[in-house]
Chain A
Amino acid sequence: MTRGYFDPIEEIDTSPTVSDEIKHTTCYMCACRCGIKVHMKDGGIRYIEGNRDHPVNKGVLCAKGSAGIMNHYSPARLTKPLKRVGERGKAEFKEIEWDEALELASEWLGDIRKTDPRKLAFFTGRDQSQALTGWWASQFGTPNHAAHGGFCSVNMAAGGIYTIGGSFWEFGEPDWDLTKYMLMFGVAEDHDSNPIKAGLSKLKNNGAKFVSLNPIRTGYSAIADEWIGIRPGTDGKFVLALIHELLKADKIDLDYIVRYTNLPWLVIQNPGEADDGLFVRGIDDEPLCWDTGTNQAADARLAGVSPALTGSFTTEDGRKAVPAFALMAERYLDKSYSPEAAEKETGVPARTMRRIAAEIADVAFEQQIEIDQPWTDWAGRKHDKMIGRPVSMHAMRGISAHSNGFHTCRAIHLLQILLGSIDCPGGFRYKPPFPKAAPPPLKPTGKPDQIAPNTPMAGPPLGFPAGPEDLLVEEDGTPRRIDHAFSWEAPIAAHGMMHMVITNAHNQDPYPVDLLFMYMANMSWNSSMNTAGTKEMLTAKDEETGEYRIPKIMYSDAYFSEMVAYADLVLPDTTYLERWDCVSLLDRPICSAESAADSIRQPVVEPDRDVRPFQSVLIDLGSRIGLPGLTNEDGSAKYPGGYPDYLVNHERAPGIGSLAGWRGEDGNSHGTGAPNKNQLDKYVENGCFWEHKLPPEQHYFKHANRDYLDYAASVGFIGSANQIIMQVYSEPLQKFRLAAQGHGAVQPPEEHRDRIKKYFDPMPIWYPPFEGEALDTNEYPMHALTQRPMAMYHSWGSQNAWLRQIHGTNPLYINRKTAEAHEIEDGDWVWVISHHNRVKAQAKLMEGVNGDTVWTWNAIGKQKGAWNLDPKAPEAKTGFLLNHVISELLPPKGDGFRYANSDPVTGQAAWYDLRVRIEKCSAEESAETAPQFPTLEPPKALPERPGILRYGRMYSRSAKRGDGQ
């Protein structure tokens, strides 16, 4: 309302009603899983904000989360089940009813399960329900299941789990409040994004020093006190040089090493024999050390022993053995690990490495912190304070996505261990349910005797092999899984190898699959290497039969992504605001270092389309095909209420279910307890999360903290309350190496032996990333990387009307000096050429990038028409996908065999090994990215793209007045 002409006065309502109702749930705009408050008004979504009480985000919310409304109301949302009518890849569909879709799906699934369950390849993308999907695959009886971890960060997970029984991100976090020095390796704007931002802010305001190693200076690196623009894939070399410096100056925490690690354990020195490099073990299989007190071998796990760290000893049976510490120290004291030796590869001056080593030693040992908090160690000994070495570290994709990532990750953990800064005040801290045994005693399932028609597998498809006998291989060494995980090609592929599924299924290697069933994984676009080849493989037909090489493809997604076009049957999913979900302790929970927590999603709005939540559909399909865990004895569905029914009533083990909070019939048990039918109501009442705060005496040293270990065992986080001993020297790796040397019952085929021998070193090593080694680097002198922008997360957000204004296209960022040498200016079109393919991009010059590195934002480029975007959208015209030039296979070896473009230990996709050269485009070449693919026509049922969005008009002043403006 306005009064007055010459002095108009606006009357403002400064206290409008914000919402009729606030519904709590969990964000799903990325993998961070923040708690959100959804303000509902007049039946619509007024506003989404962070939940102040939530352990993850404590009230803040990032750009993605704040744009949730636009994902929810996207015109790219699928509306009804679709059945393919045209050729694959053309997106020609017929709309069908759910009954028909589910009948068809269960017919396909049922036929496979009756004959050979392995012919189902069930792979899910960035979903957060792996506790369900993995279990479902086991129930089905197929080992061919994994989620996206194999192409995301399995190197971090496996490297950490096998070394310290935990890792970064969901597994642990820096002690943001107390740390005085932080080293961050290869972290772009991804995982754990809001906690990292909040943490860095605290850290900087506390005056701590923050050092970021990253070839690219954006986001977090931009606010680092020191940015080290290291050459991609050489962080391991850098870290080992720091270790060299620390060892040389004896700046290591020997007490910590003796108490908490396996470095004092005796290692057999018997070259050429089957026991070489294994631990000396006693009659009960206990590892032994040399007790200097009694001057004889003793159980290395005993409290009170005084183990020798160096020296050579003879065991009772006359074998020579040395403490693992001696092997470790000897190796890294060698000049080949000196900063000078690392200078060339890393591009970092030796004096910088020496200085960083001196700085972290200074902080760790001269600036130690003490908390007056008594605690009890694993042996029951009381300590009156907690002593911390306030150096913390964090690492992610930049370490992970290299073919040397597993060892680099282990090297970082070794550095932390030597400093004594794991789970101590100011250091790195485990988040429950970690630490676990390194590795946990959970093996992958899928051996010949574990697979039978119509029979569930006895265990989960994924696990942690502790030696060759745990591999899933045939007698001749052929892989048993379609993705070749847990084979000699990638023995510790703990998260599977989703990036190899389509290639192997197409090549029928090791066998043909009948149905490829995928969820929320954009495999024909940004989730695959070799995009064009993947599209060909998805549509390739058998020359003789005319049938598709991959006979059936079933796909579930909420949006019209590029992958939808390749499905024979599309099961439309809901948005995250329309469903029940669970972020379970059985999967990847939301705990912090000081609390165990899990959370749920609840539907805040009803779907306005004929779509169903994938997890409920999966449970429905399981009942239809009679999976034992989903069917009652009379054949009826065990969880007729779908996913929420399952979440409450399913028990994985007695008393343990998807959710840990409010268990027991009365809802008063936490952690374990009988199912509680009101459990979800309790979660909703509590803001959709449950949190158990650890008492202060359990806050640190969880790996050796009596009270914490007892608690963790009581709620099933760990099998027993034993101390978790950090495995610097990894015996499982040595076992693989011994097999390659010709020992043991399960040995690799000849062609894989050298590789296993070389890369299964029981202690961290560094080697150059594979792709560069296989190529003439004069021809491909540059590295090419992608990063996830903070305001966008894969294709999850690229159709988002708000976020695409921030990132509607992506340039190729080039170091200014490098670009000038190529006579490239801002806006010029350039070819990025790899050994595999080439892609055209528009140059953007910058200072903050390693001179030998070019990079771009990940997954901004789109196929024309996908996501219901205008085919003229910048995402398809100037935006590009680096995936086009990345091969899923390494260049052929001498014998023609092509390994996956992966880490040799874990099978982690080596996205960042990519080598390229750049060439300026000729003037004649069109100003549009290439390669281009045919324009996708969105299914007819999708809404028209609006010419203008007026979100919020219903809440505007004119709407309130009713003048319709």
Chain B
Amino acid sequence: MHPAYSVIIFTTFSGAGYGLLFLMGLFAAGQWIEPDRWFGFTGFFLAFTMVISGLLSSTFHLGHPERAWRALSQWKSSWLSREGVLAVAGFVPFGLFAIGWVIYESHDGAWRLYAMLTVLFAALTVYATSMIYATLRTIRAWFNRHTVRVYLAFALWTGSIWFNMITQLFDLHTPGIGMIVVITGVLALWLKRKYWMFLDTSPSWVPPESATGLGDLGSVRLLDAPNTQENYVQQEMGFKVARKHAEKLRRWAFFSYFLVPWCLAVGTVEAEPWLKIPAAILAVISVMAGTMVERWLFFAEAKHTVNLYYGATDS
């Protein structure tokens, strides 16, 4: 699949934004964090910026962004529509939750309920996003149980690194937050590794023999494509990444989405503020960059069945 930057940016940032909202909601609901106004303001500002800019960026690849409002209508069947509905609807609890925290500096009573709803909507929205991919039978790399887990884990992991940074900035860091970072980081690493192992070992999905129905005549090879220059389907779905290149990128991704931010965040918990704050900021930069590489690979390594009609020998 062609790795479109708008979609990579969208999923990375909105994932981090929802992850951050999820953690803020979780900590508020559990009353494990002080409803500090400026902390709250900063957290919501960053989370909303990421979610909104992610959503906006996702409209960049639309042919008719001005018609995007129509995308809320098919929630009964379309995960994309559900994602849109959840994304829009989520702003009600998010907003109320933010009002409680920033204006009233409260996590009590109804505000606590909004925090819980924030947790729910953030998780559901990321889940809906992941289901868009996980339900596409055309792409073996996506149509599997790993896709949803990895999406959720990455939202949580990137969110936790952001959460870590803000708590460090406001000196509200707790061992609990440190634990969250440690656990979500390992979870993201573990699930992604499992995903990559699945990808590397999963048998061929649909062979060209089935795509053409000509298997009775022997192994099927494309002789001539219908067009000599690439068409839309080939440009959109025909992206190929060399195995070697992908392996290199996986290593890069491992370093920058996991190892660097994990070490920076975990290793500087007890450090002096002059060290741990820049380290937390660096961790954010690194995890976002690394996640974008991971997301790029998520597309680049995904093989669509349609390529069977354009020379691919497996899918």
Q: Which residues of A contact B (CB under 8 A)?
A: 5-6, 8, 805-809, 844, 846, 848, 874
Q: Which residues of B contact A848 (CB under 8 A)?
A: 223
**Does the CB pair A806–B228 fall under 8 Å?**
yes
Report if B212 contacts A (CB, 8 A): no
Q: Which residues of B contact A806 (CB under 8 A)?
A: 226-228
In the assembled complex, how far is the CB of residue A792 from the closest CB belonging to chain B, in whole angstroms?
11
**Does the CB pair B227–A805 fall under 8 Å?**
yes
**Does the CB pair B228–A808 fall under 8 Å?**
yes
Q: Chain A residue with minimal CB distance to B226?
A: A806
Q: Chain B residue with minimal CB distance to A816?
A: B221
**Does the CB pair A8–B223 fall under 8 Å?**
no
**Does the CB pair A6–B228 fall under 8 Å?**
no
Given known contacts A5-B73, A6-B73, A8-B73, A846 and B223 CB-to-CB distance under 8 angstroms: yes
Q: Which residues, 221 to 240 on B, are CB-close (under 8 Å) to A?
A: 223, 226-229, 231
In the assembled complex, how far is the CB of residue B298 from the closest CB belonging to chain A, in whole angstroms?
28
Q: Chain A residue with minimal CB distance to B229?
A: A808
Q: Which residues of A contact B227 (CB under 8 A)?
A: 805-806, 808
Q: Which residues of B contact A5 (CB under 8 A)?
A: 70, 73
In the assembled complex, how far is the CB of residue A593 from the closest CB belonging to chain B, in whole angstroms?
34
Residues 269-296 of B, flagged 1 when their CB comes within 8 A of A and 0 if not, give 0000000000000000000000000000
In the assembled complex, how far is the CB of residue A845 from the closest CB belonging to chain B, in whole angstroms?
9
In the assembled complex, how far is the CB of residue A282 from the closest CB belonging to chain B, in whole angstroms?
61
Q: Which residues of A contact B73 (CB under 8 A)?
A: 5-6, 8
Q: Which residues of A contact B223 (CB under 8 A)?
A: 844, 846, 848
Identify which of B74, B228, B231 gathers the most chain A CB atoms within 10 Å of its CB.
B228
Q: Which residues of A contact B70 (CB under 8 A)?
A: 5, 8
Q: Which residues of B contact A805 (CB under 8 A)?
A: 227-229, 231
Give the distance in Å from the alpha carbon of A475 to the alpha carbon of B229 in the complex: 58
Q: Chain B residue with minimal CB distance to A807?
A: B228
4 nearest A-B pairs in the assembled complex, by CB-CB distance: A808-B228, A809-B228, A805-B227, A6-B73
Interface magnitude class on chain B: under 10
Having A6-B74, A807-B228, one finds 16 other A-B pairs with CB under 8 Å, namely: A5-B70, A5-B73, A8-B70, A8-B73, A805-B227, A805-B228, A805-B231, A806-B226, A806-B227, A808-B227, A808-B228, A808-B229, A846-B223, A848-B223, A874-B228, A874-B229
Q: Chain A residue with minimal CB distance to B228?
A: A808
The total of Cβ contacts below 8 Å across the A-B interface reads 23
Q: Chain A residue with minimal CB distance to B231?
A: A805
Q: Which residues of A contact B228 (CB under 8 A)?
A: 805-809, 874
Give the distance in Å from the alpha carbon of A6 to the alpha carbon of B81 in the complex: 11
- 11 A-B residue pairs with CB within 8 Å: A5-B70, A6-B74, A8-B70, A8-B73, A805-B228, A805-B229, A807-B228, A808-B228, A846-B223, A848-B223, A874-B229
Q: Chain A residue with minimal CB distance to B227?
A: A805
Give the distance in Å from the alpha carbon of A428 to the alpha carbon of B227 in the complex: 37
Q: Which residues of B contact A (CB under 8 A)?
A: 70, 73-74, 223, 226-229, 231
Q: Which residues of B contact A846 (CB under 8 A)?
A: 223
Give the distance in Å from the alpha carbon of A6 to the alpha carbon of B75 in the complex: 9
Give the distance in Å from the alpha carbon of A848 to the alpha carbon of B231 in the complex: 26
Give the distance in Å from the alpha carbon of A807 to the alpha carbon of B70 in the complex: 40
Give the distance in Å from the alpha carbon of A809 to the alpha carbon of B226 in the complex: 12
Give the distance in Å from the alpha carbon of A667 to the alpha carbon of B300 in the complex: 71
In the assembled complex, how far is the CB of residue A813 from the closest CB belonging to chain B, in whole angstroms?
9
In the assembled complex, how far is the CB of residue B221 from the closest CB belonging to chain A, in whole angstroms?
8
Q: Which residues of B contact A808 (CB under 8 A)?
A: 227-229
Q: Chain A residue with minimal CB distance to B221?
A: A847
Q: Chain B residue with minimal CB distance to A808?
A: B228
Q: Which residues of A contact B74 (CB under 8 A)?
A: 6
Give the distance in Å from the alpha carbon of A805 to the alpha carbon of B227 in the complex: 5
In the assembled complex, how far is the CB of residue A949 from the closest CB belonging to chain B, in whole angstroms?
15
Give the distance in Å from the alpha carbon of A8 to the alpha carbon of B74 in the complex: 10
Give the distance in Å from the alpha carbon of A844 to the alpha carbon of B74 in the complex: 46
Q: Which residues of A contact B231 (CB under 8 A)?
A: 805
Give the distance in Å from the alpha carbon of A848 to the alpha carbon of B73 in the complex: 52
In the assembled complex, how far is the CB of residue B66 from the closest CB belonging to chain A, in whole angstroms?
12
Give the distance in Å from the alpha carbon of A806 to the alpha carbon of B227 in the complex: 4
Give the distance in Å from the alpha carbon of A805 to the alpha carbon of B234 in the complex: 14
Give the distance in Å from the alpha carbon of A593 to the alpha carbon of B70 in the complex: 61
Give the distance in Å from the alpha carbon of A844 to the alpha carbon of B228 in the complex: 13
In the assembled complex, how far is the CB of residue B222 from the closest CB belonging to chain A, in whole angstroms?
10
Q: Which residues of B contact A807 (CB under 8 A)?
A: 228
Identify which of A805, A809, A874 gathers the most chain B CB atoms within 10 Å of its CB.
A805
Give the distance in Å from the alpha carbon of A382 to the alpha carbon of B242 in the complex: 78
Give the distance in Å from the alpha carbon of A218 to the alpha carbon of B313 in the complex: 22
Give the distance in Å from the alpha carbon of A844 to the alpha carbon of B222 in the complex: 11
Give the distance in Å from the alpha carbon of A8 to the alpha carbon of B81 in the complex: 14
Give the distance in Å from the alpha carbon of A81 to the alpha carbon of B227 in the complex: 35
In the assembled complex, how far is the CB of residue A220 from the closest CB belonging to chain B, in whole angstroms?
16
In the assembled complex, how far is the CB of residue B167 from the closest CB belonging to chain A, in whole angstroms?
43
Give the distance in Å from the alpha carbon of A807 to the alpha carbon of B73 in the complex: 43
In the assembled complex, how far is the CB of residue A789 from the closest CB belonging to chain B, in whole angstroms?
9
Q: Chain B residue with minimal CB distance to A6?
A: B73
In the assembled complex, how far is the CB of residue B307 from the closest CB belonging to chain A, in whole angstroms?
15
Q: Which residues of B contact A8 (CB under 8 A)?
A: 70, 73
In the assembled complex, how far is the CB of residue A876 from the closest CB belonging to chain B, in whole angstroms?
13
Give the distance in Å from the alpha carbon of A6 to the alpha carbon of B231 in the complex: 33
In the assembled complex, how far is the CB of residue B57 from the closest CB belonging to chain A, in whole angstroms?
25
Give the distance in Å from the alpha carbon of A808 to the alpha carbon of B229 in the complex: 7
In the assembled complex, how far is the CB of residue A104 from the closest CB belonging to chain B, in whole angstroms?
42
Give the distance in Å from the alpha carbon of A874 to the alpha carbon of B230 in the complex: 12
Q: Chain A residue with minimal CB distance to B69?
A: A5
Give the distance in Å from the alpha carbon of A874 to the alpha carbon of B229 in the complex: 8
In the assembled complex, how far is the CB of residue B236 from the closest CB belonging to chain A, in whole angstroms?
17
Give the distance in Å from the alpha carbon of A558 to the alpha carbon of B229 in the complex: 27
Q: Chain A residue with minimal CB distance to B74?
A: A6
In the assembled complex, how far is the CB of residue B226 from the closest CB belonging to chain A, in whole angstroms?
7
Give the distance in Å from the alpha carbon of A844 to the alpha carbon of B226 in the complex: 15
In the assembled complex, how far is the CB of residue B194 from the closest CB belonging to chain A, in whole angstroms?
35
In the assembled complex, how far is the CB of residue A289 from the closest CB belonging to chain B, in whole angstroms?
54
Give the distance in Å from the alpha carbon of A844 to the alpha carbon of B311 in the complex: 12
Give the distance in Å from the alpha carbon of A5 to the alpha carbon of B228 in the complex: 41
Q: Which residues of B contact A809 (CB under 8 A)?
A: 228
Give the distance in Å from the alpha carbon of A808 to the alpha carbon of B230 in the complex: 11
In the assembled complex, how far is the CB of residue A817 from the closest CB belonging to chain B, in whole angstroms?
14
In the assembled complex, how far is the CB of residue A236 from the closest CB belonging to chain B, in whole angstroms?
30
Q: Which residues of A contact B226 (CB under 8 A)?
A: 806
Identify which of B223, B227, B231 gathers the most chain A CB atoms within 10 Å of its CB.
B223
Give the distance in Å from the alpha carbon of A805 to the alpha carbon of B74 in the complex: 37
Give the distance in Å from the alpha carbon of A874 to the alpha carbon of B74 in the complex: 43
Q: Which residues of B contact A6 (CB under 8 A)?
A: 73-74
Give the distance in Å from the alpha carbon of A928 to the alpha carbon of B73 in the complex: 51
Give the distance in Å from the alpha carbon of A846 to the alpha carbon of B231 in the complex: 23
In the assembled complex, how far is the CB of residue A524 from the closest CB belonging to chain B, in whole angstroms?
24
In the assembled complex, how far is the CB of residue A734 from the closest CB belonging to chain B, in whole angstroms?
48
In the assembled complex, how far is the CB of residue B15 from the closest CB belonging to chain A, in whole angstroms?
29
Give the distance in Å from the alpha carbon of A101 to the alpha carbon of B229 in the complex: 41
In the assembled complex, how far is the CB of residue A874 from the closest CB belonging to chain B, in whole angstroms?
6
In the assembled complex, how far is the CB of residue A963 from the closest CB belonging to chain B, in whole angstroms?
13
Give the distance in Å from the alpha carbon of A874 to the alpha carbon of B231 in the complex: 14
Q: Which residues of A contact B229 (CB under 8 A)?
A: 805, 808, 874
In the assembled complex, how far is the CB of residue B231 from the closest CB belonging to chain A, in whole angstroms?
8
Q: Which residues of B contact A844 (CB under 8 A)?
A: 223
Give the distance in Å from the alpha carbon of A8 to the alpha carbon of B67 in the complex: 14
Give the distance in Å from the alpha carbon of A874 to the alpha carbon of B226 in the complex: 15
